[in-house]
Protein backbone atom coordinates (compact mmCIF):
# COMPACT_ATOMS: atom_id res chain seq x y z
CA UNK A 1 0.00 0.00 0.00
CA UNK A 2 1.46 3.33 -1.05
CA UNK A 3 1.61 6.30 1.29
CA UNK A 4 -0.91 8.11 -0.93
CA UNK A 5 -3.36 5.19 -0.75
CA UNK A 6 -3.00 4.99 3.04
CA UNK A 7 -3.60 8.73 3.32
CA UNK A 8 -6.76 8.44 1.20
CA UNK A 9 -8.09 5.66 3.41
CA UNK A 10 -7.28 7.65 6.52
CA UNK A 11 -9.05 10.69 5.10
CA UNK A 12 -12.15 8.55 4.62
CA UNK A 13 -12.33 7.72 8.34
CA UNK A 14 -14.51 9.81 10.57
CA UNK A 15 -13.60 10.96 14.08
CA UNK A 16 -16.33 8.67 15.44
CA UNK A 17 -14.86 5.64 13.67
CA UNK A 18 -11.41 6.33 15.05
CA UNK A 19 -12.83 6.86 18.56
CA UNK A 20 -14.85 3.63 18.33
CA UNK A 21 -11.77 1.68 17.21
CA UNK A 22 -9.62 2.98 20.05
CA UNK A 23 -12.46 2.32 22.50
CA UNK A 24 -12.73 -1.28 21.27
CA UNK A 25 -8.94 -1.71 21.29
CA UNK A 26 -7.68 -0.07 24.51
CA UNK A 27 -4.29 -1.82 24.13
CA UNK A 28 -3.65 -0.28 20.71
CA UNK A 29 -0.85 1.98 21.99
CA UNK A 30 1.07 -0.85 23.64
CA UNK A 31 4.46 -1.01 21.92
CA UNK A 32 3.72 2.25 20.08
CA UNK A 33 6.16 4.41 22.07
CA UNK A 34 7.26 6.44 19.05
CA UNK A 35 3.66 7.14 18.09
CA UNK A 36 2.80 8.19 21.65
CA UNK A 37 5.76 10.58 21.76
CA UNK A 38 4.68 12.17 18.48
CA UNK A 39 1.11 12.81 19.62
CA UNK A 40 0.49 16.14 21.36
CA UNK A 41 -2.63 17.85 22.66
CA UNK A 42 -3.33 21.53 23.36
CA UNK A 43 -3.38 22.49 27.03
CA UNK A 44 -5.32 25.25 28.80
CA UNK A 45 -2.06 27.15 29.16
CA UNK A 46 -1.62 27.12 25.36
CA UNK A 47 1.33 24.77 25.47
CA UNK A 48 1.23 21.33 23.85
CA UNK A 49 1.41 18.30 26.12
CA UNK A 50 1.81 14.62 25.38
CA UNK A 51 -1.08 12.18 25.30
CA UNK A 52 0.21 10.51 28.45
CA UNK A 53 0.37 13.84 30.30
CA UNK A 54 -3.16 14.60 29.19
CA UNK A 55 -4.34 11.22 30.42
CA UNK A 56 -2.68 11.74 33.80
CA UNK A 57 -4.34 15.17 34.04
CA UNK A 58 -7.77 13.64 33.35
CA UNK A 59 -7.21 10.92 35.94
CA UNK A 60 -6.33 13.55 38.53
CA UNK A 61 -9.47 15.53 37.73
CA UNK A 62 -11.55 12.38 38.01
CA UNK A 63 -9.89 11.52 41.33
CA UNK A 64 -10.61 14.98 42.73
CA UNK A 65 -14.25 14.78 41.60
CA UNK A 66 -14.72 11.37 43.20
CA UNK A 67 -13.08 12.61 46.39
CA UNK A 68 -15.48 15.57 46.61
CA UNK A 69 -18.45 13.29 45.97
CA UNK A 70 -17.26 10.88 48.67
CA UNK A 71 -16.90 13.70 51.20
CA UNK A 72 -20.42 14.87 50.35
CA UNK A 73 -21.85 11.36 50.69
CA UNK A 74 -20.16 10.89 54.07
CA UNK A 75 -21.58 14.21 55.25
CA UNK A 76 -25.09 13.22 54.13
CA UNK A 77 -24.73 9.83 55.83
CA UNK A 78 -23.69 11.45 59.12
CA UNK A 79 -26.60 13.91 58.89
CA UNK A 80 -29.06 11.07 58.25
CA UNK A 81 -27.58 9.08 61.11
CA UNK A 82 -28.19 11.99 63.49
CA UNK A 83 -31.76 12.35 62.20
CA UNK A 84 -32.32 8.63 62.68
CA UNK A 85 -31.16 8.75 66.29
CA UNK A 86 -33.37 11.76 67.05
CA UNK A 87 -36.35 10.13 65.35
CA UNK A 88 -35.79 6.88 67.25
CA UNK A 89 -35.69 8.69 70.59
CA UNK A 90 -38.89 10.55 69.76
CA UNK A 91 -40.72 7.41 68.61
CA UNK A 92 -39.70 5.49 71.73
CA UNK A 93 -40.99 8.34 73.91
CA UNK A 94 -44.24 8.51 71.94
CA UNK A 95 -44.83 4.75 72.14
CA UNK A 96 -44.39 4.83 75.93
CA UNK A 97 -47.01 7.57 76.43
CA UNK A 98 -50.50 6.65 77.61
CA UNK A 99 -52.50 9.85 77.21
CA UNK A 100 -52.96 12.60 74.66
CA UNK A 101 -51.35 15.05 77.07
CA UNK A 102 -48.21 12.93 77.37
CA UNK A 103 -48.09 12.40 73.61
CA UNK A 104 -48.32 16.12 72.89
CA UNK A 105 -45.65 16.96 75.46
CA UNK A 106 -43.23 14.33 74.10
CA UNK A 107 -43.59 15.52 70.51
CA UNK A 108 -43.34 19.20 71.40
CA UNK A 109 -40.26 18.73 73.62
CA UNK A 110 -38.44 16.59 71.05
CA UNK A 111 -39.15 18.77 68.01
CA UNK A 112 -38.22 22.03 69.73
CA UNK A 113 -35.42 20.62 71.89
CA UNK A 114 -33.76 17.67 70.15
CA UNK A 115 -34.46 18.73 66.56
CA UNK A 116 -33.94 22.43 67.27
CA UNK A 117 -37.04 23.60 65.39
CA UNK A 118 -39.31 26.41 66.51
CA UNK A 119 -42.67 24.65 66.69
CA UNK A 120 -44.56 21.39 66.34
CA UNK A 121 -48.26 21.03 65.70
CA UNK A 122 -50.56 18.01 65.66
CA UNK A 123 -54.04 18.66 64.36
CA UNK A 124 -56.27 15.71 65.17
CA UNK A 125 -59.62 15.60 63.40
CA UNK A 126 -62.72 14.99 65.53
CA UNK A 127 -66.38 15.95 65.58
CA UNK A 128 -66.29 16.58 69.32
CA UNK A 129 -66.57 20.10 70.69
CA UNK A 130 -63.34 22.06 70.22
CA UNK A 131 -61.66 24.11 72.97
CA UNK A 132 -61.75 27.82 72.23
CA UNK A 133 -58.03 28.46 72.65
CA UNK A 134 -56.03 25.25 72.47
CA UNK A 135 -52.38 25.59 73.44
CA UNK A 136 -49.44 23.27 72.94
CA UNK A 137 -48.53 20.81 70.22
CA UNK A 138 -51.91 19.07 70.00
CA UNK A 139 -55.18 20.61 68.81
CA UNK A 140 -58.51 18.97 68.17
CA UNK A 141 -60.14 20.45 65.07
CA UNK A 142 -63.16 19.77 62.94
CA UNK A 143 -62.25 17.87 59.77
CA UNK A 144 -64.41 20.04 57.51
CA UNK A 145 -62.88 23.21 58.93
CA UNK A 146 -59.37 21.81 58.40
CA UNK A 147 -60.14 20.95 54.76
CA UNK A 148 -61.52 24.44 54.25
CA UNK A 149 -58.43 26.08 55.73
CA UNK A 150 -55.71 23.76 54.36
CA UNK A 151 -57.30 22.58 51.11
CA UNK A 152 -54.90 20.77 48.79
CA UNK A 153 -52.26 20.37 51.50
CA UNK A 154 -54.28 17.42 52.81
CA UNK A 155 -54.62 15.59 49.51
CA UNK A 156 -51.17 14.04 49.09
CA UNK A 157 -49.57 11.00 50.69
CA UNK A 158 -46.19 12.64 51.24
CA UNK A 159 -44.86 15.64 53.14
CA UNK A 160 -45.38 19.13 51.74
CA UNK A 161 -42.66 21.68 52.48
CA UNK A 162 -42.63 25.42 51.87
CA UNK A 163 -43.60 28.81 53.23
CA UNK A 164 -47.38 28.31 52.83
CA UNK A 165 -49.96 31.08 52.99
CA UNK A 166 -50.21 33.17 56.15
CA UNK A 167 -53.72 31.87 56.89
CA UNK A 168 -52.46 28.27 56.67
CA UNK A 169 -49.52 28.93 58.98
CA UNK A 170 -51.78 30.63 61.52
CA UNK A 171 -54.19 27.70 61.46
CA UNK A 172 -51.39 25.19 61.97
CA UNK A 173 -49.56 27.21 64.64
CA UNK A 174 -52.09 29.46 66.44
CA UNK A 175 -51.41 32.02 69.16
CA UNK A 176 -47.69 32.46 68.57
CA UNK A 177 -45.83 35.63 69.48
CA UNK A 178 -43.23 34.97 66.76
CA UNK A 179 -44.92 33.75 63.56
CA UNK A 180 -43.78 30.63 61.75
CA UNK A 181 -42.23 31.39 58.35
CA UNK A 182 -41.74 27.94 56.75
CA UNK A 183 -43.45 24.60 57.31
CA UNK A 184 -43.09 20.89 56.68
CA UNK A 185 -46.50 19.21 56.81
CA UNK A 186 -47.44 15.52 56.70
CA UNK A 187 -51.08 14.29 56.58
CA UNK A 188 -51.77 11.60 59.17
CA UNK A 189 -53.47 8.65 57.49
CA UNK A 190 -54.62 5.35 58.91
CA UNK A 191 -57.80 3.95 57.42
CA UNK A 192 -58.50 7.45 56.19
CA UNK A 193 -57.29 10.96 57.02
CA UNK A 194 -57.11 11.36 60.81
CA UNK A 195 -55.14 14.58 61.14
CA UNK A 196 -52.00 16.55 60.32
CA UNK A 197 -48.49 16.67 61.75
CA UNK A 198 -46.49 19.82 61.03
CA UNK A 199 -43.16 21.28 62.12
CA UNK A 200 -42.23 24.89 61.63
CA UNK A 201 -39.32 27.31 61.58
CA UNK A 202 -39.26 31.06 62.04
CA UNK A 203 -36.56 31.23 59.37
CA UNK A 204 -37.99 31.85 55.86
CA UNK A 205 -36.91 29.19 53.41
CA UNK A 206 -35.82 26.71 56.10
CA UNK A 207 -38.14 24.15 54.51
CA UNK A 208 -38.45 24.04 50.74
CA UNK A 209 -39.54 21.58 48.04
CA UNK A 210 -36.14 19.84 48.09
CA UNK A 211 -36.23 19.13 51.84
CA UNK A 212 -36.03 15.42 52.65
CA UNK A 213 -39.03 14.03 54.52
CA UNK A 214 -38.18 10.37 55.14
CA UNK A 215 -37.91 10.67 58.92
CA UNK A 216 -40.90 12.99 59.11
CA UNK A 217 -42.84 10.18 57.42
CA UNK A 218 -41.71 7.64 60.04
CA UNK A 219 -42.89 9.89 62.86
CA UNK A 220 -46.21 10.60 61.13
CA UNK A 221 -46.89 6.91 60.49
CA UNK A 222 -46.50 6.23 64.21
CA UNK A 223 -48.66 9.18 65.29
CA UNK A 224 -51.42 8.27 62.84
CA UNK A 225 -51.79 4.86 64.52
CA UNK A 226 -51.48 5.90 68.16
CA UNK A 227 -53.48 9.13 68.27
CA UNK A 228 -57.01 8.00 67.22
CA UNK A 229 -57.37 5.31 69.93
CA UNK A 230 -55.98 7.76 72.50
CA UNK A 231 -58.61 10.29 71.44
CA UNK A 232 -61.37 7.70 71.80
CA UNK A 233 -60.06 6.75 75.23
CA UNK A 234 -59.90 10.40 76.27
CA UNK A 235 -63.48 10.98 75.11
CA UNK A 236 -64.62 8.25 77.49
CA UNK A 237 -62.59 9.41 80.48
CA UNK A 238 -62.24 13.19 80.40
CA UNK A 239 -63.47 16.49 78.89
CA UNK A 240 -62.19 17.60 75.51
CA UNK A 241 -60.97 20.89 76.94
CA UNK A 242 -58.18 19.13 78.83
CA UNK A 243 -56.57 17.73 75.70
CA UNK A 244 -54.32 20.67 74.85
CA UNK A 245 -51.00 20.82 76.67
CA UNK A 246 -49.75 24.26 77.68
CA UNK A 247 -46.12 24.64 76.75
CA UNK A 248 -43.80 27.61 76.38
CA UNK A 249 -43.41 29.04 72.90
CA UNK A 250 -40.08 28.25 71.21
Question: At which of 54, 70, 96 does a domain end?
Answer: 96
In a domain, 3, yes or no: no
pLDDT at 99: 82
CATH number at residue 159: 3.30.450.40
State the chain's mean pLDDT as an integer: 78
In a domain, 45, yes or no: yes
Bridge partners of 125, per DSSP, are: 141
Distant-in-sequence contacts of 91-94, Cβ < 8 A, 24+ apart: 91/218, 91/219, 91/222, 94/219, 94/222, 94/223, 94/226
The parent domain of residue 156 ranges over: 99-242
Number of domains comprising the chain: 2
151 vs 137: CA distance, rounded Å: 21
pLDDT at 45: 52
The pTM score is 0.65
In a domain, 86, yes or no: yes
What does the pLDDT look like over 191-219, one tens digit per residue? 888 889 999 999 988 887 766 677 888 88
Identify whether residues 155 and 196 lie together within a single domain.
yes
Question: At which of 72, 96, 120 does a domain end?
Answer: 96
Identify whether residues 81 and 118 lie together within a single domain.
no
Position 70 confidence tier, pLDDT thresholds 50, 70, 90: very high
Give the percent of the chain with pLDDT over 90. Answer: 12
Identify whether residues 54 and 129 lie together within a single domain.
no
In a domain, 7, yes or no: no
In a domain, 141, yes or no: yes
What does the pLDDT look like over 117-172, one tens digit per residue? 999 999 888 776 544 444 468 888 888 888 888 888 888 778 888 888 888 988 89
Amino acid sequence: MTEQTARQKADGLTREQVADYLRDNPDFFLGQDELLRSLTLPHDSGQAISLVERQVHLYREQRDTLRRELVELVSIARHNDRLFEKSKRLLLQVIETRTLNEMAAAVDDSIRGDFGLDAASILLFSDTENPDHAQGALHIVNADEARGRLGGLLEGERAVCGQFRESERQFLFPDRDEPIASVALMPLRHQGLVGVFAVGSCQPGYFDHSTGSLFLGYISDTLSRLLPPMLRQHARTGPTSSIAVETSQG
